[in-house]
């Protein structure tokens, strides 16, 4: 008799605290690091609660960037080309495009009458 591999659900085994993957945890920590100067600024004005809210918002933005993908929406042309890709990959590509100073040229074919 032969041996057979039984498939098992391995999704989520690489997660930390059930919601964080390694990448999303890194982006969340970067978001917290971005919110700390805002907390310092608001704490100088004795607005500690607003500073903590700023940290939570920037951490949430980092988590979203590290976790979610762009959905494919048929009505929007932009999502047809990048649908299903991670948000951080799209941001990295945009930064590299601007950094290199690249341009996109569109050539249209004119029809003769």
pLDDT of 111 reads: 66
| C-alpha span between 96 and 23 (Å, rounded) | 20
Alpha-carbon torsion 63, 69, 70, 72, what sign? negative
| C-alpha span between 36 and 50 (Å, rounded) | 12
Alpha-carbon torsion 51, 56, 58, 59, what sign? positive
| C-alpha span between 69 and 79 (Å, rounded) | 11
- Bridge partners (DSSP) of residue 20 are 16
Query: Is 5 a residue whose pLDDT tops 80?
Result: no
Q: In whole numbers, what is the pLDDT of the chain averaged over residues?
A: 81
Q: Considering the entire predicted model, what is its pTM? A: 0.67
Query: Is 104 a residue whose pLDDT tops 70?
Result: no
22: helix, strand or coil = helix
pLDDT of 34 reads: 92
């Amino acid at each position: 008799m032969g041996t057979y591999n039984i498939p098992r659900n391995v999704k989520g085994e690489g997660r930390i605290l059930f919601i964080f993957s390694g990448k999303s945890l890194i982006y969340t920590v970067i978001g917290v690091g971005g919110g700390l100067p805002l907390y310092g600024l608001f704490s100088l004005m004795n607005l500690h609660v607003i500073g903590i809210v700023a940290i939570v918002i920037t951490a949430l933005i980092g988590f979203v960037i590290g976790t979610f993908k762009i959905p494919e929406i048929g009505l929007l042309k932009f999502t047809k080309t990048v649908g299903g890709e991670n948000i951080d990959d799209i941001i990295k590509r945009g930064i590299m495009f601007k950094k290199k100073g690249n341009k996109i040229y569109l050539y249209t074919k004119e029809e003769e009458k």
